[in-house]
Amino acid sequence: MDEMWSRVYSKKTPCWLWHAINHENGEVVAYMLGTRHNEVVWKLLDLLAPLNIEIVKEYSDNNPAYRDAIPYNILQVGKKNTQKIERKHLTFRTRLKRLARKTICYSKSLDMHKILFGLLINSLEFNLQLF
Whether residue 128 lies inside any domain: the answer is no
Whether residue 17 lies inside any domain: the answer is yes
Q: Is the pLDDT confidence value at 34 over 60?
A: yes
Q: Dihedral of CA 90/91/92/93: which sign? A: positive
Whether residue 48 lies inside any domain: the answer is yes
Q: Is the pLDDT confidence value at 102 over 80?
A: no
Phi-psi region of 83 (alpha: psi -120 to 50; beta: other; left: phi over 0): alpha
Whether residue 36 lies inside any domain: the answer is yes
pLDDT tens digits for range 2-14: 888 888 887 778 8
Pairing of strands 14-21, 2-7: antiparallel
Whether residue 33 lies inside any domain: the answer is yes
Whether residue 114 lies inside any domain: the answer is yes
pLDDT at 117: 86
Pairing of strands 28-34, 14-21: antiparallel
Q: Give the domain range for residue 105.
A: 2-54+81-120
Whether residue 67 lies inside any domain: the answer is no
Q: Which of 87, 116, 82, 111 is nearest to 99 (CA)?
A: 116
pLDDT tens digits for range 72-81: 888 888 878 8
Whether residue 75 lies inside any domain: the answer is no
pLDDT grade, residue 129 (50/70/90)? low
Is the separation of the CB atoms in 105 and 99 below 8 Å?
no
- The count of structural domains within the chain is 1
Is the separation of the CB atoms in 31 and 48 below 8 Å?
no
Q: Is the pLDDT confidence value at 131 over 60?
A: no
Average pLDDT over residues 107-125: 85
